[in-house]
Structure 1
Amino acid sequence: MDRLISIGELAELKAVSVDTIRRWENEGKIKSVRTNGGHRRYRLADFVEQKLGKTLAYARVSSQDLKHDLDRQDAVLSGYCQSNGWNYEVIRDLGSGMNYRKKGLNKLLAAILDGDVARLVITHKDRLLRFGSELIFAVCEYHDIEVIILNKKEDATFEEDLASDVLEIITVFSARLYGSRSNKNKKL
């Protein structure tokens, strides 16, 4: 016979709140068995192999000039998710990889923290964030969310990573300075 677990045990297993488990049941994502006393019980076997939630694909470009690349990323991500038969949504963002206040990024983080995501698919690691993507990957790992990076580059040496990071910082701040000057000139 299948081992039955309580709603609290399932919440702990999936690293979500009890309210999230109740919501999943109301949405029809999971099923419970009721005890004679009316308590919910869940078959453990249903959750060992089953990945609840949908696939989120995330595409980002840093400026309006690169909108064609955003469309290309969207097409690549959609094709990959469709070829795997996943229920997916592509979240598109426009903004710097150093900006943590992008609408799409916030939507992605909220879905991850709510426990609604089974996997995250991105084209490149830096499409998520220029710095700090490891933190999001750690949160995904904590919530048992599979992260798929379609175009992984070979592991770079420490020196190559450092040089790349310094160049990125210089590029971002140069762009901000140039944009600031451009706005001042337009006002004059």
Structure 2
Amino acid sequence: MEESTELTVSIGEAAKELGVSVKTVRRWADAGKLRFERSPSGHRRFYLSDLKRIVPRDLEALDDRITINYARVSSHDQKPDLVRQVQVLESYSSANGWQFETIQDLGSGLNYNKKGLQKLLKRILSGEVGRIVITHKDRLLRFGSELVFAMCEEFETEVVIVNKSSEALSFEQELVQDMIELIQVFSARLYGARSHKNKKLIDGISKAVDEVK
């Protein structure tokens, strides 16, 4: 049997040639999208001639993993903002030609147990999510979003933040927002989300914060 004379490269060299991660090359190879042979030591070797012809975007187009838009607000009073987030996210995904689903969440950015967030994380862990799209970084979590981003990197899930330029808050501003969200949660439990006492307390706190700024 005649031995192949085609030039082959390692998986690391293949990733560099294509401009993607080693994990992505491995995933494409496992899915049969990239030819490879095994070296005597058992390592994958990829055909350089194939890599020269391939446009990574073409392989990504064959990737049937879903895009998930994630929108969140802290309270029922912010429902109009939730509607706006969904419109922005779905318009953005549609414009990019992505097949998408949208998850909507209601709850504090300090709450790790929100139903929508838990659903999103389970989908990422299952490996079926190719991309998540959010309007701002803190829509996932006020603190700890970096942990979610690290999980996305591990499972090769791209994170797209639509409004990067308008998300920069000072540390003090973030603390104020977190404090107000916590008070809203406990006040709603104590008095009821729609009660006069709850509204009066939140309005008073908001006014005090504005006066300190």
Q: With structure 1 as the length reference, what TM-score do the two structures score?
A: 0.68
Once the two structures are superposed, residues 122-175 of structure 1 have per-residue CA deviations (whole angstroms, 9 ceiling, x without a partner) of 01111111111111011111222211101113685xxx6321232123212322
Structure 1: which 5+ residue stretches go unaligned?
Answer: 4-11, 22-29, 33-42
Whether contact under 8 Å (2:137, 2:167) holds in the other structure is no
Asked if 2 retains the 8 angstrom alpha-carbon contact of 1:14 and 1:143, the reply is: no
Task: Sort the Cα spacing of 1:87 and 1:155 in 2 relative to 1 into closer, same or farther, 3 A.
Answer: closer
The residue correspondences of 1:90-105 to structure 2 (distance < 5 A) are 90-105=102-117
State the distance in 2 between where 1:92 and 1:155 align.
19
Q: For 1:177 and 1:140, locate their aligned partners in 2 and report how far apart those are by CA, in whole Å.
A: 32
- Residue correspondences, number: 160
Aligned to 2:170, what secondary structure does the other structure show? helix
What is the CA–CA distance in structure 1 between the aligned matches of 2:74 and 2:137, rounded to whole Å? Answer: 14
Q: Deviations over 1:26-61 (max 9, x none)?
A: xxxx558xxxxxxxxxx9969x65333111110011
Equivalence for 1:74: 86
Distance 1:100 1:73 in 2: 20
Query: Who is 1:85 aligned against?
Result: 97
1:4-15 alignment to 2 at 5 Å? 13=23
For residue 8 of structure 1, what is the aligned residue in structure 2? none
CA displacement, residues 53-77 of structure 1 (integer Å, 9 cap, x when unaligned) = 1111100111122112111111111
Q: 1:35 is matched with which residue?
A: none
Distance 1:140 1:114 in 2: 11
SS at match of 2:164: coil
Q: Residue in 2 aligned with 1:61?
A: 73
Unaligned runs of 5+ in 2: 1-5, 9-21, 34-45, 196-213
Query: Out of 135, 154, 163, which is 2:172 matched to?
Result: 163
Matched residue, 2:162: 150
CA distance in 1: counterparts of 2:84 and 2:104, whole angstroms = 11
CA RMSD, 1 decimal: 3.6
1:181 aligns with 2:190: yes
Q: CA 1:111–1:140 in structure 2 vs 1: closer, same or farther (change >3 Å)?
A: same
Q: Which residue of 2 aligns with 1:39?
A: none
Q: CA deviation at 1:78?
A: 0.6
Task: Work out which of the two has the higher radius of gyration on C-alpha atoms and give 1 or 2.
Answer: 2
Deviations 1:6-38 (CA, angstroms, capped at 9, x unpaired): xxxxxx935999xxx7xxxxxxxx558xxxxxx
Give the % identical residues. 43
Following superposition, the deviation at residue 179 of structure 1 comes to 2.0
Amino acid at match of 1:166: L
Counterpart pick for 2:129 among 99, 117, 123: 117
Q: 1:2–1:116: structure 2 CA closer, same or farther, 3 Å change rule?
A: farther
Partner AA of 2:190 in structure 1: R
Q: In the alignment, residue 67 of structure 2 is paired with which amino acid? A: T
User: TM-score normalised to the size of structure 2?
Assistant: 0.61
